[in-house]
């Protein structure tokens, strides 16, 4: 046996071994492979939009199985009302919670490490009330529950503090809101995961593009659902002017989080290829940036 | 606590005297004072929370001593009157000096910035230990959620001067070792004020013929108000607590609206009165010429709605209610050290590097017991300027290092953004060139909330800081009296 044979054979053995164990899991994933990459649903009811978008991706059971602990991560970082579009729409979050519990999830947790005082954000975003009404737990983030994790693929960051509940969850569903942001250009899904980070997050703002991708190499949400019900066009990420908000009544859902963000950029009227963090994410193999290469299903729901 | 503060007659009298204006906030204090004339010092015996605390401490620490003891000396009683005279003279001259001495303020201050945080940190530490024990983990997190829902600060607050406040409080408690209610007998200026009016009281201690002269009433009197004959009672010192009634075996003692044998002297002779007056005058003068340099004065950032500085200092009793409530939101307020001189000691100042003024919060004005901070409606508060932010370009990341940052701009709560940026080509320290977003402050829009300084990621001294430039301090009759 020469060296090349040895390498090929051992690689084959490893691959076989790796496949044999979680075969059932792989099979179920294969079955859940959605027919489309991105579901884009526009309509007057945020809840109906969410339901349709998820059903286009193969239904919630493609992501959530009986007994799973699900973390739904909205953006509720700011002490602003839903109409300011600084936070994810509460109806969107509530509908996802409902679907997860219907699919048999053991527990659904909704939380965010906020920028303003947490109680104000939880209350005034409307998310706490809406999600709790559907049966979710909406706990405040505790500093003691951040764990330091290494970032093996990190180029700028080698380790950071991550929230234990988010990392340990069986399923993580990222539910960002589409809005403007001066540093990154836009804040969408990849950036929304900053809400599960501890420590001094301000440190992430310089060389942001690389750092946010570093973070996303560790945390991989199974589903990203972008809320573009209302979009904050200027003065993000917290806004405050109703005239900066545009009603778009749209949700975008997909497994490929780079693709969801890229589609969000297009919705916003920006070229995804001009957004540094998306280019970086594609370069590092996190997903597809070119929306034209994707199977996008657009649906318009009537009132 | 708030109700007690508003009900403190000393706060009422001194505030009204110092500001030479009617202060609606302290109306309740005047009611208490008026009640003293018929009833005597019932406030001290039945209401004052510091008095009750002292009684409890006394009971716990001296539980075993039951035998008759010699009543402790009365020769220090004049001190409280001297303090009162000093405070009132100062107030008449327009300088409010009650804040180190008022018992309600002392208790509130200690409870707000020392005892309450001690309690929360104790509970949180206990929960943190519980979390490590597997079968208690769930219960601990449920307890966290419950406590965080309404009670506890989400972030453990920490305050300047807690050690000092705590020690001063412990000293007052420790004086119980010398005699019961040592503070109330000898030092409390509120007791002195009530005692003065108590001379004219109508409710008196009565002793009838069945008295066996056992002396228990004299020995047990908290205030040492009963004299050697066990009948004569000081109308000034008696707080009508009723201890003498309950210990009297033959039931010879009771209270009634009838003139009895009594003594009613205020223990302050003319020499000491003059001494207190002169001391007060000197203190007022020294406080007035006390020096605070321009740098320090510029760092005195007051909460939004604070009255103009002179009025503010006259009204603020340093109770720390605003400081405590602020710690549950943005957490910018701290008791001041020497920023505004000794005259402004312990008044609330914003420390923007430590915490910020929450844009949608006006709680400090709501809790202020004297209206030193006006109760601004939220829309008014949101455009009331506390100060102005400045970039320190030698410390701001885009300016000195040529890399994007803009954390300050992200957090700026002004809807149109008081922090904006220019995108410019810059040469970095390593020689490379690139487009960088360079932030600047729009002076007309900046409200001085300080969240930019709080969130600035630069280690140590931030890349953006605040002064009280542009601060808006005015009296609006609409907000100053609620």
Mutation target to probe the B interface, by most B beta carbons within 10 A, among A123, A202, A208, A212 is A202
State whether residue A147 sits within 8 Å of chain B by CB. no
For strands A69-74 and A171-175, give the pairing.
parallel
State mean pLDDT over A55-77: 96
User: What was the ipTM of the complex prediction?
Assistant: 0.85
Structure tokens at A65: 């199985």
Does A32 score more than 60 pLDDT?
no
Query: For B346-366, how does the pLDDT look when each residue is reduced to its tens digit (9 = 90+)?
Result: 999 999 999 999 999 999 999
More confident residue, A35 or B183: B183
Average pLDDT of the residues of chain A: 91
Residues 6+ apart with CB under 8 A from B248: B211, B216, B217
Closest chain A residue by Cα to residue B358: A116
- Considering only the beta carbons, identify the residue of A79, A117, A144 that sits closest to B131: A144
State whether residue B145 sits within 8 Å of chain A by CB. yes
* pLDDT band, very low/low/confident/very high, at A6 (cuts 50, 70, 90): low
pLDDT of residue B2: 67
Query: For B58-95, how does the pLDDT look when each residue is reduced to its tens digit (9 = 90+)?
Result: 888 766 555 546 667 778 899 999 999 999 999 988 88
A183 contacts B405? CB cut-off 8 A: yes
B23: left (phi over 0), alpha (psi -120 to 50) or beta: beta
Does A34 score more than 70 pLDDT?
no
Q: Are B402 and B431 in contact (CB under 8 A)?
A: no
pLDDT of residue B482: 42
Nearest to B471 by CA among B452, B451, B446, B453: B446
Structure tokens at B138: 């769930």
State mean pLDDT over A189-209: 93
Q: Are B189 and B10 in contact (CB under 8 A)?
A: yes
Does A21 score more than 50 pLDDT?
no
A200 contacts B413? CB cut-off 8 A: no
Structure tokens at A284: 């590092």
State whether residue B404 sits within 8 Å of chain A by CB. yes
More confident residue, A20 or B460: B460
* pLDDT band, very low/low/confident/very high, at B142 (cuts 50, 70, 90): confident
pLDDT of residue B481: 47
Does B451 score more than 90 pLDDT?
yes
> What is the count of residue pairs from A and B with beta carbons less than 8 Å apart?
82
* pLDDT band, very low/low/confident/very high, at B287 (cuts 50, 70, 90): confident
State whether residue A116 sits within 8 Å of chain B by CB. yes
State whether residue A6 sits within 8 Å of chain B by CB. no
pLDDT of residue A1: 61
pLDDT of residue A201: 92
pLDDT of residue B172: 94
B53-57, B145-149, B342-346, B357-361: the lowest-pLDDT one = B145-149
Alpha carbon distance B130, B126 (integer Å): 6
DSSP conformation letters of A137-188: B-PPP-GGGEEEEE-TT-SS-SEEEEEHHHHH-SEEEEE-EEEEETTTEEE-
The DSSP 8-state label assigned to residue B58 in this structure reads: H
Alpha carbon distance B160, B263 (integer Å): 46
Does A215 score more than 60 pLDDT?
yes
* pLDDT band, very low/low/confident/very high, at B232 (cuts 50, 70, 90): confident
State whether residue A235 sits within 8 Å of chain B by CB. yes
pLDDT of residue B140: 86
- Rounded to 10 degrees, the C-alpha dihedral B56/B59/B61/B63 comes to -160
State whether residue A33 sits within 8 Å of chain B by CB. no
% of chain A residues with pLDDT over 90: 82
Alpha helices of chain A — where are they, by DSSP H? 3-20, 23-32, 46-56, 90-102, 118-124, 127-133, 164-168, 189-192, 208-218, 257-268, 276-283
* pLDDT band, very low/low/confident/very high, at A43 (cuts 50, 70, 90): very high
In Å, how far is A216's CA from the nearest CA of chain B? 20
Does A64 score more than 50 pLDDT?
yes
- Considering only the beta carbons, identify the residue of A116, A200, A235 that sits closest to B416: A235
Structure tokens at B388: 């102005």
State whether residue A124 sits within 8 Å of chain B by CB. yes
Q: Are B410 and A237 in contact (CB under 8 A)?
A: yes
Q: With beta carbons under 8 A apart, name residues in chain B contacting A144.
A: 128, 131
pLDDT of residue A291: 87
Alpha carbon distance B406, B421 (integer Å): 8
Residues 6+ apart with CB under 8 A from B472: B384, B385
Closest chain B residue by Cα to residue A144: B128
Question: CA A114 from chain center: how many Å?
Answer: 16
Closest chain B residue by Cα to residue A137: B145
In Å, how far is B157's CA from the nearest CA of chain A? 13
Query: For A222-233, how does the pLDDT look when each residue is reduced to its tens digit (9 = 90+)?
Result: 999 999 999 999
Secondary structure, 3-state, B84-148: HHHHHHHHHCCCCCCCCCCHHHHHHHHHHHHHHHHHHHHHHHHHHHHHHCHHHHHHHHHHHHHHH
- A 166-185 residues with CB below 8 A of B? 181-183
pLDDT of residue B59: 84
B413 contacts A240? CB cut-off 8 A: yes
Greatest mean pLDDT among A153-157, B118-122, B146-150, B155-159 lies in A153-157
pLDDT of residue B323: 95
State mean pLDDT over A170-174: 97
Q: With beta carbons under 8 A apart, name residues in chain B contacting A206.
A: 397, 401, 403-405, 457
B397 contacts A206? CB cut-off 8 A: yes
pLDDT of residue A10: 67
Q: Are A165 and A71 in contact (CB under 8 A)?
A: yes
State mean pLDDT over B449-461: 96
State mean pLDDT over A79-96: 97
B437 contacts A205? CB cut-off 8 A: no
Alpha carbon distance A45, A92 (integer Å): 9
In Å, how far is B341's CA from the nearest CA of chain A? 32
Strand residue runs (E) in B272-417: 333-335, 348-350, 388-391
Q: With beta carbons under 8 A apart, name residues in chain A contacting B397.
A: 206
Query: For B1-37, how does the pLDDT look when each residue is reduced to its tens digit (9 = 90+)?
Result: 567 887 888 888 888 888 777 777 788 888 889 888 8
pLDDT of residue B474: 81
The residue with tokens 């923007």 is B352
Alpha carbon distance A237, A201 (integer Å): 15
Alpha carbon distance A288, B467 (integer Å): 48
The DSSP 8-state label assigned to residue B342 in this structure reads: G
State whether residue A283 sits within 8 Å of chain B by CB. no
pLDDT of residue A169: 96
Count how many Cα atoms sit within 13 Å of the Cα of residue B66 in the half-sphere of its side chain. 2
In Å, how far is A239's CA from the nearest CA of chain B? 5
Omega of the bond leading into A281 within 30 degrees of 0 (cis): no
Count how many Cα atoms sit within 13 Å of the Cα of residue B70 in the half-sphere of its side chain. 3
Closest chain B residue by Cα to residue A206: B405
Query: For A268-278, how does the pLDDT look when each residue is reduced to its tens digit (9 = 90+)?
Result: 999 999 999 99
Greatest mean pLDDT among A57-71, B129-143, B196-210, B216-230 lies in A57-71
Nearest to A41 by CA among A58, A32, A54: A54
A137: left (phi over 0), alpha (psi -120 to 50) or beta: beta
Alpha carbon distance A64, A42 (integer Å): 24
State whether residue A132 sits within 8 Å of chain B by CB. no
């Amino acid at each position: 046996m020469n060296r090349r044979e040895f390498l090929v054979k051992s690689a084959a053995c490893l691959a076989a071994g790796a496949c044999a164990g979680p075969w059932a899991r792989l099979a179920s994933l294969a079955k859940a492979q959605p027919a489309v990459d991105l579901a884009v649903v526009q309509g007057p009811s945020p809840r109906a939009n969410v339901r349709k978008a998820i059903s286009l991706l193969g239904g919630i059971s493609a992501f959530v199985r009986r007994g799973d602990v699900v973390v739904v991560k909205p953006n509720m970082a700011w002490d602003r009302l839903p109409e300011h579009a600084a936070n994810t729409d509460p109806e969107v979050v509530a509908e996802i919670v409902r679907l997860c519990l219907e699919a048999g999830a053991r527990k659904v947790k909704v939380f965010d490490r906020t920028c303003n005082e947490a109680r104000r954000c939880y209350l005034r975003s409307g998310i706490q009330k809406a999600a709790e009404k559907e049966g979710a737990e909406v706990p405040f983030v505790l500093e003691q529950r951040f764990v330091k994790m290494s970032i093996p693929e990190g180029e700028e960051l080698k380790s950071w503090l991550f929230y234990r509940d988010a990392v340990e969850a069986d399923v993580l569903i990222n539910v960002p809101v589409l809005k403007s942001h001066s540093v990154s250009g836009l804040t969408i899904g990849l950036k929304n995961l900053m809400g599960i980070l501890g420590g001094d997050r301000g440190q992430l703002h310089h060389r942001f593009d690389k750092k946010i991708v570093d973070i996303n190499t560790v945390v991989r949400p199974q589903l990203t659902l972008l809320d573009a019900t209302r979009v904050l066009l200027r003065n993000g990420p917290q806004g405050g002017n109703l005239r900066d908000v545009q009603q778009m009544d749209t949700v975008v859902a997909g497994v490929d989080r780079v693709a969801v963000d890229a589609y969000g950029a297009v919705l916003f009227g920006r070229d995804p290829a001009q957004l540094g963090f998306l280019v970086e994410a594609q370069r590092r193999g996190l997903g597809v940036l070119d929306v034209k290469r994707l199977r996008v299903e657009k649906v318009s729901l009537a009132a | 606590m708030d109700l007690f503060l508003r009900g403190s007659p000393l706060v009422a009298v001194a505030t009204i005297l110092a500001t030479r204006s009617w202060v609606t906030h302290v109306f309740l204090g005047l009611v208490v004072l008026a009640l003293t004339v018929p009833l005597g010092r019932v406030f001290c015996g039945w209401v004052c929370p510091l008095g009750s605390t002292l009684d409890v401490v006394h009971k716990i620490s001296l539980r075993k001593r039951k035998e008759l003891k010699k009543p402790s000396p009365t020769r220090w009683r004049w001190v409280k009157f001297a303090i009162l005279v000093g405070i009132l003279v100062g107030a008449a001259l327009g300088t409010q000096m009650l804040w180190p001495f008022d018992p309600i303020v002392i208790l509130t201050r200690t409870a707000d910035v020392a005892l309450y945080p001690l309690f929360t940190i104790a509970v949180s530490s206990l929960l943190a230990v519980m979390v490590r024990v597997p079968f208690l983990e769930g219960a601990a997190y449920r307890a966290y959620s419950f406590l965080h829902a309404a009670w506890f600060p989400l972030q453990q607050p920490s305050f300047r001067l807690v050690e000092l406040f705590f020690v001063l409080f412990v000293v007052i408690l420790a004086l119980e070792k010398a005699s019961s209610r040592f503070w109330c007998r000898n030092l409390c200026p509120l007791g002195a004020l009530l005692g003065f009016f108590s001379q004219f009281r109508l409710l008196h201690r009565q002793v009838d013929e069945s008295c066996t002269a056992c002396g228990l009433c004299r020995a047990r009197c908290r205030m040492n108000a009963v004299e050697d004959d066990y009948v004569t009672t000081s109308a000034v010192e008696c707080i009508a607590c009723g201890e003498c009634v309950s210990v009297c075996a033959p039931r010879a003692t009771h209270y009634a609206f009838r003139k009895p044998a009594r003594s009613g002297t205020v223990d302050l002779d003319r020499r000491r009165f003059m001494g207190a007056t002169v001391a007060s005058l000197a203190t007022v003068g020294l406080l007035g010429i006390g020096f605070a340099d321009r740098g320090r004065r510029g760092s005195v950032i007051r909460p939004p709605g604070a009255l103009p500085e002179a009025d503010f200092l006259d009204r603020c009793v340093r109770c720390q209610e605003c400081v405590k409530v602020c710690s549950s939101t943005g957490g910018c307020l701290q008791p001041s050290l020497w920023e505004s001189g000794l005259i402004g000691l312990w008044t609330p100042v914003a420390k923007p590097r430590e915490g910020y003024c929450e844009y949608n919060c006006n709680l400090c004005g709501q809790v202020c017991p004297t209206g030193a901070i006006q109760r601004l409606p939220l829309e008014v508060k949101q455009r009331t300027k506390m100060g102005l932010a400045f970039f320190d370009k030698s410390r701001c990341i885009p300016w000195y290092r040529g890399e994007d940052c803009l954390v300050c701009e992200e957090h700026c709560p002004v809807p149109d953004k008081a922090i904006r940026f220019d995108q410019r080509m810059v040469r970095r320290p390593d020689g490379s060139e690139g487009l960088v977003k360079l932030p600047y402050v729009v002076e007309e829009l900046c409200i001085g909330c300080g969240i930019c300084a709080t969130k600035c990621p630069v280690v140590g001294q931030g890349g953006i800081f605040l002064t009280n430039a542009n601060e808006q301090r005015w009296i609006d009759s609409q907000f100053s009296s609620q």
